[in-house]
Structure 1
Amino acid sequence: MGIEIFIESWAVMVDASPYVLLGFFVAGLLKGFVPDELMARHFGKRTFSSIIKAALAGVPLPLCSCGVLPAALGLRKQGASKGATTAFMISTPETGVDSMAVTYALIDPIMTVIRPVAAFFTAIFAGWLVNASDAGEKPVSRDLPMAPIACACDDGEQEDGTWRRFHNGMHFAFGEMIGDIGKWFLMGVVIAGAISALIPEGFIEQSVGHGLLSLFVMLAVGLPLYVCATASTPIAASLLLKGLSPGAALVFLLAGPATNGATLTVMFKVLGRRAASMYLVAIAVGSLVLGWLVDRLYGALGLDIRAVVAQAGEVLPHWVGCVSAIIVLGLVVRTWLRPHAHGCGCRG
């Protein structure tokens, strides 16, 4: 069993690592080119409008539930409120321009529209719950340690402004941020691998179909499972062809990409137990309610969601995932060996 868990954990690592690196890159760009004051002004206040802005910002981004972690942590460290951070962490992995295109190709145009709209409203609901449950939240931009964004070198060298901002953003993302969440991400990967190894094949196809039971079963399967928004689409399409209701498929499409072991462990670490709990409650309640409504919609319209399902291939070549996994592991190990090597990289 230990070997199976290791194999599944490595598979999760291979699948997630390219998007994790992309997420760190996005976080570096945000840190380098978007002033902290701008982030704090739009996302830092505990207002409903900041939650809406964060949810809207996350909808088109093609980041998975692991890839969004560094980007969301970057927003949090730049002053975003817990509610806005939570909204971004939900709307971003649940949908994106890439997953919407695959949804249109493999399912149908109605689900293509429903999916981002559902992600948007679920994110708003979650952000509101987090802010309402944490009335004593204080601004974070002054409380959490930040990697220096500018560096005064003794030799007086002046780099080009754009290159300097890019360099400092990448130094922040692949230095301090890797050190912050690296061990928690690896712990989540092992948890996700253990779950993948313990869930028997064919369980979903043989156990669920239509009705409320299918909604709850797909929620129970989707919450701990690591699957990105794009990869979840062919799975949902195959289940639809086997008799799964459109509402249950939507529950899987919302819950699966938004949560996994890595997401939850980092959520507890960065946002706290209360915010992480509200995150789970919002996804569970929002997914079930929206899934029930979608079943009613398709039933009222008399539509059959069955569509021609193409054979889904790997989004990225396997070697890309393997190389990315090795890079991520190397970066994490580097922070363990050099725990204080997050400062200025100027030449002495």
Structure 2
Amino acid sequence: MEQILTYFVQYALACWETFVEMAPYICLGFLTAGILHIFVTPHTITRYLGKGRIKSVIYAAFIGIPLPLCSCGVVPAAAGLKKQGANTGAAMSFLIATPETGVDSLAVTYALLDPIMTIFRPIAAFLTAITAGIAENFLGRSYQDLPIETPIDRTCKVDGCCNGENCEPEVHRRHHTLGEKLYAGLRYGFGEILDDIAKWLLIGVAIAGVITVVIPENLLKTYLYGGVHSMLLMLVIGIPFYICATASTPIAAALILKGVSPGAALVFLLAGPATNAATISVVYGMFRQRTTAIYLGSIAICSVLLGLLLDRLYIWLNIPASAIVGSAAEILPYWLSITAAIFLLGLLLKSLLVPWYRRYTHQDHKHCDEHSCSCSH
């Protein structure tokens, strides 16, 4: 019993230390995500994705990389782009680039991993996305240049006060103050975006804690020290596994500290967020068999090749990845990290508990109505 208690304390401390390291950076990521949502117009997102086998794919990857959407959340967004005139290759590029990175996940990558991975990760996502998109536009059967004819949703993002259709663009841009827009961005970043990933973020930290405390270091060093076999094994683990880019980062950090090669960890960071069983089935339903094969094949081939390249980069620089993982977090004072962790934990608990409480109280109301009893809820 005492040994179990010791393991539990070690596990809780490992989870808390990981959470403290990442909290300030993920808060910065949520802030940036909210600002992007408010100030980047839908017209900007859609106008460049309809024409050009290559140009549209590159634009889609650039647009997708900073957006904080998970692999399931990005599917309706990609479908919306397709309906608004984006060609299939551009939609696929967006579908891959967006969940593999995001301003929130890049901030956490800097906190928990190192500057090399922080730079290499979005580059790898960009290359994977444009490879898949260009392959689709040249090898698929569905490419055609399409004018954007579907009306774009120009509804005011601040408070929905107008639909943007009967509002002059100049007026539409100026009928809210900068303060109102920033407040709306904060609500979106620390509200809707946080709600989308709250559960998966905590699951990612929990899995990282298990890897840190339970899994023997020699076990992972034996099988995932580097090479093609390590990349393929991480690919098998990552493709069906549902996890967002932010939540996958603490897991990757824990793996590297246990001796896993940075290239193998990169494969997990690329394949895990971009794919899962649910997303694959939706992609098949949207684009059918050939496009789904290009989608999975591009992710698999690019992830493995880029993982091997990253391992060679660390060897060339003569830097052991496990020695510098988490070093960026030391830049911030500890009191700031603790404050951010407490603040973020409060928001995460609110995000998880409030919906549960509402369902619970709703069921209580329903129970009272069915039995015609008097209650004071």
TM-score by length of 1: 0.64
**Structure 2 Cα separation of the partners of residues 326 and 275 of structure 1:** 42
By how many angstroms is 1:324 displaced? 6.3
1:50 counterpart = 2:56: yes
C-alpha distance after superposition, 1:162-196 (max 9, x if no partner)? 7332799xxxxxxxxxxxxxxxxxxxxxxxxxxx9
**Cα distance, 1:319–1:147 mapped onto 2, change above 3 Å:** farther
**Contact kept in structure 1, 2:263 and 2:310, CA below 8 Å:** yes
| Structure-to-structure mapping, 1:176-195, within 5 angstroms | none
**Cα distance, 1:263–1:300 mapped onto 2, change above 3 Å:** same
1:210 counterpart = 2:241: no
1:295 pairs with one of 295, 311, 317: 311
1:244 match: secondary structure = coil
Q: Which amino acid in structure 2 is aligned with residue 282 of structure 1?
A: S
| Structure-to-structure mapping, 1:248-263, within 5 angstroms | 248-263=264-279
2:42 pairs with one of 34, 46, 51: 34
Q: Which amino acid in structure 2 is aligned with residue 93 of structure 1?
A: P
**Contact kept in structure 1, 2:50 and 2:148, CA below 8 Å:** no
**Contact kept in structure 2, 1:45 and 1:80, CA below 8 Å:** yes
1:272 match: secondary structure = helix
**Contact kept in structure 2, 1:224 and 1:260, CA below 8 Å:** yes
Q: Which amino acid in structure 1 is aligned with residue 59 of structure 2?
A: K
1:164 pairs with one of 156, 162, 165: 162
By how many angstroms is 1:271 displaced? 1.8
By how many angstroms is 1:322 displaced? 6.2
2:161 match: secondary structure = helix
**Structure 1 Cα separation of the partners of residues 285 and 95 of structure 2:** 14
**Structure 2 Cα separation of the partners of residues 93 and 324 of structure 1:** 25
1:113 pairs with one of 107, 113, 119: 119
| Residue 85 of structure 1: aligned partner | 91
| Residue 286 of structure 2: aligned partner | 270
Q: Which amino acid in structure 1 is aligned with residue 91 of structure 2?
A: T
**Structure 1 Cα separation of the partners of residues 139 and 227 of structure 2:** 32
**Structure 1 Cα separation of the partners of residues 80 and 54 of structure 2:** 21
| Residue 132 of structure 1: aligned partner | 138
Which runs of 5 or more residues in structure 1 are unaligned? 1-21, 151-160, 169-195, 328-348
C-alpha distance after superposition, 1:269-300 (max 9, x if no partner)? 11222111100000000001100111111111
| Residue 245 of structure 2: aligned partner | 229
**Contact kept in structure 2, 1:51 and 1:84, CA below 8 Å:** yes
**Cα distance, 1:233–1:78 mapped onto 2, change above 3 Å:** same
**Structure 2 Cα separation of the partners of residues 215 and 142 of structure 1:** 40
By how many angstroms is 1:260 displaced? 0.8
TM-score by length of 2: 0.59
| Residue 97 of structure 1: aligned partner | 103
Aligned residues: 259
C-alpha distance after superposition, 1:121-147 (max 9, x if no partner)? 11000001111222443567899xx79
1:210 match: secondary structure = coil
Q: After TM superposition, where is structure 1 displaced by more than 3 Å over at least 4 residues in a row?
A: 38-41, 135-143, 146-150, 201-207, 307-316, 321-327
**Structure 1 Cα separation of the partners of residues 279 and 240 of structure 2:** 9
**Structure 1 Cα separation of the partners of residues 82 and 350 of structure 2:** 33
User: Considering only CA atoms, is the larger Rg found in Structure 1 or Structure 2?
Assistant: 2
**Structure 2 Cα separation of the partners of residues 326 and 219 of structure 1:** 38
**Cα distance, 1:308–1:56 mapped onto 2, change above 3 Å:** closer
| Residue 345 of structure 1: aligned partner | none
**Cα distance, 1:308–1:110 mapped onto 2, change above 3 Å:** closer
**Contact kept in structure 1, 2:84 and 2:151, CA below 8 Å:** no
**Structure 1 Cα separation of the partners of residues 60 and 152 of structure 2:** 25
By how many angstroms is 1:210 displaced? 2.3
Q: Which amino acid in structure 1 is aligned with residue 351 of structure 2?
A: V
Aligned residues with identical type, % of pairs: 47
Question: What RMSD in Å do the two structures reach over aligned CA positions?
Answer: 4.0
